[in-house]
Amino acid sequence: MCAPNLPNNRAPRADTPALRFLFYSHDGQGLGHIRRNLAIAWELTRMSPNASALLATGANPLEWAGRNSRLDVLKLPELRKVANQRYASRRLRLPEEGILALRSSLLKAAVQTYQPHVLLADKHPLGLKGELVEALEALMDLDACAILGLRDILDTPERVAAEWASEGLPARITDYYESVLIYGQHELFNPVATYRFPQSVAGRTSFCGYVVSPNPDPPYGVGADSVGAIRANGHPWVLATAGGGEDGFLMLETFMRACAGAPWHGVVVGGPLMSNPEAQVLRRLAEQTGVQFETRLAELGPVLGSVDAVVCMGGYNTLLEALAGALPVVCVPRAQPRAEQLLRAQVFRKSGLLEFVEPQDLHPSKLRQLIHAGLGRSRRDLLHRIQTVLRFGGARRAATHLLVAAAAVRNRWSAGAPSCRVPAWPALVTGGRGG
């Protein structure tokens, strides 16, 4: 079993044999799942020179992983979210069941051949529409360890209860997962209580604090040098970003209109998942309103270190990275198809961390008013509030938990415990036709 007592866990020594990790991230909408897993994987490989990680996702994080010699990517065929519990192939001409079967076979093969000591799945215990089940079964055959990572807020309690009941998730989590890690703080939002985790799940659940990416974004688009040039004109700089950008058009368009004639310089980043037609509309509007428009962001950390305020949606990663930089934030959360972003914005506003506009109230004048108020807020007071309320060590605490769990699996394999079949690498089929 994985060690459940997270605060007392210590990472294995640096001179221990290699430890292998498989990270599963679904990619139906946005980049949040892969960014959390990447943050933990980077921290894990920094803590243990003998650890390597394989990231399985349909997103394309090669630029991130390429900077780390012990991270690699298993690129799954991409999906896009159509509605809750409904997905379609983003590129391949395959029906939903076909694309999921293809992804499932790749995940199972990864477990059987890479033979990870630990598998970390983000949010979906069974994968999208059950695509991870065969991989989890293969992991059990290895007597390895599966850990489930959950963001703090999933959706409304009613919707989560219905979805978990329909898939029998409490029992399946107990069957497959030895630990559950919550990427948040129970004093701000307690999913164990809110979603009524049964004791079988609650008893193996630990809170890590918030996971914030320690590594820069891919090297393309506008970067920190551009920020310095912009700030040379003496105006405050306000960044608007919608994360991946797949559903951020309305917020970014409204921000551009709010910037027209404003006493700050606005910069909009569309995001790598924004459609070309929407990007073209924003590019034309940027010329009319004097806003700088960039398709993609270069390095979020250095840029956030140079801005004066951020306008963003309520996604986990962008919102928390802005707050980690002690920046005034105006949040425009998504309310559908899930209420996760709206609930997070409400929790953070109640804690005095940000202001937000509900989607139905989004208007240039309202947004302009809140940006102006944010720019006038004392950064010293905001920093003190953030440091008092939030803990950002989630990536390191999660990585520590994974390393301890992997060491336990490695020791079982080495000891040849009766319940453990020491893995043997599958033989390649040879002797076929040449050509």
User: Which CATH number belongs to the domain containing residue 374 in this structure?
Assistant: 3.40.50.2000
In this model, does residue 4 exceed pLDDT 50?
no
Residue 229 included in any domain: yes
Residue 427 included in any domain: no
Residue 420 included in any domain: no
In terms of residue numbers, what domain contains 159?
6-211+393-415
The pLDDT tens digits for 307-352 are: 899 999 999 988 999 999 999 999 999 988 889 999 999 999 999 9
In this model, does residue 45 exceed pLDDT 70?
yes
Q: Determine the pLDDT at residue 10.
A: 52
Same domain assignment for residues 31 and 165:
yes
Same domain assignment for residues 268 and 403:
no
Q: Determine the pLDDT at residue 91.
A: 76
In this model, does residue 58 exceed pLDDT 90?
no
Q: Determine the pLDDT at residue 229.
A: 45
Residue 139 included in any domain: yes
Q: Determine the pLDDT at residue 12.
A: 47
- pTM for the predicted model, two decimal places: 0.86
Total structural domains within the chain: 2
Same domain assignment for residues 111 and 140:
yes
Q: Determine the pLDDT at residue 426.
A: 61
Q: What is the DSSP string of 52-121?
A: EEEEEESS--HHHHTTSTTEEEEEPPPEEEEETTEEEESSS---HHHHHHHHHHHHHHHHHHH--SEEEE
Mean pLDDT of 274-278: 91
Q: What is the DSSP string of 228-288?
A: HHHHTTSS-EEEEE-TT-TT-HHHHHHHHHHHTT-SSEEEEE--TTS-HHHHHHHHHHHHH
Q: Determine the pLDDT at residue 63.
A: 56
**Residue in 239, 240, 267, 237 with CA at minimum distance from that of residue 252:** 240
Same domain assignment for residues 249 and 343:
yes
Token couple for 414: 């080495």
Q: Considering only residues 14 and 199, tell me which one the structure prediction assigns the higher pLDDT.
A: 199
Residue 137 included in any domain: yes
State the residue for tokens 């599966």: 146
Q: Determine the pLDDT at residue 263.
A: 95
Lowest mean pLDDT among 208-222, 308-322, 370-384: 208-222
Same domain assignment for residues 190 and 325:
no
Same domain assignment for residues 60 and 195:
yes
Instruction: Determine what percent of the chain is predicted with pLDDT higher than 90.
Output: 64
Same domain assignment for residues 53 and 147:
yes
Residue 345 included in any domain: yes
State the residue for tokens 């070309």: 276
Same domain assignment for residues 158 and 263:
no
Residue 188 included in any domain: yes
Residue 364 included in any domain: yes
In this model, does residue 298 exceed pLDDT 60?
no
Lowest mean pLDDT among 166-180, 204-218, 420-434: 420-434
- Confidence band for 171, pLDDT divided at 50, 70 and 90: very high
- Confidence band for 103, pLDDT divided at 50, 70 and 90: very high
Q: Determine the pLDDT at residue 200.
A: 97
Q: Considering only residues 415 and 211, tell me which one the structure prediction assigns the higher pLDDT.
A: 211
Same domain assignment for residues 188 and 292:
no
Same domain assignment for residues 365 and 397:
no
CA distance 305 to 254: 24
In this model, does residue 174 exceed pLDDT 80?
yes
Lowest mean pLDDT among 104-113, 154-163, 424-433: 424-433
Evaluate whether 342 touches 319 at the Cβ level (below 8 Å).
Answer: no
Same domain assignment for residues 311 and 356:
yes
Same domain assignment for residues 176 and 256:
no
